Amino acid sequence: MYGHNVSHSKRRTRKIFKPNLHRAKVVIGGTSKSMKLCTKCLRMVKTAMQASVSTRGAAASDADTKLADSDSIGAEAIVEVPQA
């Protein structure tokens, strides 16, 4: 990608494109790891977790509260990655 920041006087400077990264604690195989995930990856992991929890049944309410707590501003997201 490329582009410019354009000021009111039409001066152009190079635009810097950076990924939208978020800190998340990911539980893999029972161990918690702190990682930086892009927003798209974080959404994919959350939807995969919700799909795996809905197939399990009874544990769905616990996972929903974890997701609701992690969506608050300033808190780290806690995401459990199911083992395949």
Considering only residues 56 and 23, tell me which one the structure prediction assigns the higher pLDDT: 23
Residue 6 lies in a domain: no
Residue 57 lies in a domain: yes
Residue 2 lies in a domain: no
Contact 42, 24 (CB under 8 A): yes
Residue 33 lies in a domain: yes
Residue 29 lies in a domain: yes
As for how many domains the chain has, the answer is 1
Helix (H, G, I), strand (E, B) or coil at 23: strand
Contact 34, 27 (CB under 8 A): no
What is this structure's pTM?
0.48
Residue 11 lies in a domain: no
Question: What DSSP string describes 25-84?
Answer: EEEETTEEEEEEEEHHHHHHHHHHHHHHHHHH-TTHHHHHHHHHHHTSTTPPEEEEEPP-
The parent domain of residue 54 ranges over 19-81
Helices 60-70 and 39-56 pack at an angle, to 10 degrees, of: 160
Residue 1 lies in a domain: no
pLDDT tens for residues 42-60?
888 888 878 877 777 645 4
Which of the residue ranges 16-20, 50-54, 69-73 would you say has the lowest mean pLDDT?
A: 69-73
Confidence of residue 30 (pLDDT cuts 50, 70, 90): confident
| Average pLDDT value for residue range 23-41 | 87
